[in-house]
Amino acid sequence: MARILSVQSHVVSGYVGNRAATFPLQLLGHEVDVINTVQFSNHTGYNTVHGERFAAAHIRDLFAGLQANGLDRGYTHLLTGYMGTSDNVHAVSAMARQLEQTNPELTFVVDPVLGDDGALYVPEELVALYRDELCPRATLVTPNQFEAELLTGIKIATLADAKRACDALHQMGVPNVVITSARIGDDASTLHLVGSELCARSGTKHQFAIGFPQLDGYFTGSGDFFAALLVARHASLANEFAGLAGALAKACELATATQAGVMAATRQHQMSTGIAADPDLPRGSRPSDMVRGFELRIIPSRHLITNPTASFQAFAI
């Protein structure tokens, strides 16, 4: 069982950030403590959002409280998602350093939440901070295609490009890389996960890919959900693989199977509402009832978290 500190966003209603991550981590047998970087009424895909972005002082103060009571001892994993500001990135970097002093074997998982589909949704200065400050400390990073391109400067159009991007992240100091979704070639119906694992014992590199169907819709929080699934599965496989290559690919297979099932259940639920989901609606113009229909069906699909029915196989690249 892992003990995980998760530092991400939070919403009152819906499933993004810590709301998307906590339940699957716990359901798969791990202890989770959370620090929220924001608290919003709902995610930003809705037309109206109320709430507050927390300053770095808030994050540092909460962590100081954990330290004062010795509650920072025993964390095996630090999982980070949406930071939003450069000050928060600095605060989390300092937190990682302190946790590493307590546990030199800490697994630091960085989901570099910067943007998607060619658009940033954080200040541009955060790209360099993730690349220069967080990635060199990370054990595992989980960028999407756009984020991987931002961090490495490599445009990804082929699996060979994705491998080069993984290699660039390895050169920054990251031993485990998962590009969670990339459009490869002209097949619009399929996305690819691309992973690369440096074997701790042999120093060899294991690179792989998994193809999975792309579903049309306005899904939010899927990256947060996937990162949590990956952390949970990878933590559970650590003893089985004992530092040998293969744990990351197996964890990705299981996480992808759950993700695909939950996404399909979510799409089916949205269609059952009878509310049209017209394509290419920009943020700010999407009806709230339609957006609500695309909230991830995590709780009704809990059986797919523990026992996914789909099956995906990684292949070497």
Q: 224, 278, 280, 289: which is the annotated catalytic residue?
A: 224
19 within 8 A of 47, measured Cβ to Cβ: no
Give the three-state DSSP class for 79. strand
Q: Where are the alpha helices (DSSP H) in the chain?
A: 17-27, 56-68, 86-102, 125-129, 145-152, 159-171, 222-241, 247-272, 288-293, 302-306
Q: Are 197 and 248 in contact (CB under 8 A)?
A: yes
Q: Is 224 tagged catalytic?
A: yes
Count of Cβ atoms closer than 10 Å to residue 202 Cβ: 11
Q: Please, what sign has the CA dihedral across residues 10, 109, 256, 150?
A: positive
- Rounded distance between C-alpha atoms, residue 282 and residue 48, angstroms: 14
Q: Yes or no: say if 312 and 212 are a contact pair by the CB < 8 Å rule.
A: yes
Residue 269 CB contacts under 8 Å (≥ 6 apart), including other chains: 293, 297, 300
- State how far the Cα of 253 lies from the Cα of 308, in Å rounded to an integer: 10
Assigned token pair, 76: 């095996």
Pairing of strands 176-182, 190-198: antiparallel
Structure tokens at 243: 């530092």
Q: Which residues are within 8 A (CB) of 109 and not within 5 positions of it... i.e. 6 or more apart?
A: 77, 78, 79, 80, 138, 139, 140, 141, 142, 227, 230, 231
Do the Cβ atoms of 1 and 95 come closer than 8 Å?
no
- The residue type found at 119 is A
Q: Are 39 and 19 in contact (CB under 8 A)?
A: no
The encoded tokens of residue 162 equal 């994705």
Do the Cβ atoms of 35 and 5 come closer than 8 Å?
yes
Residues identified as active-site? 224
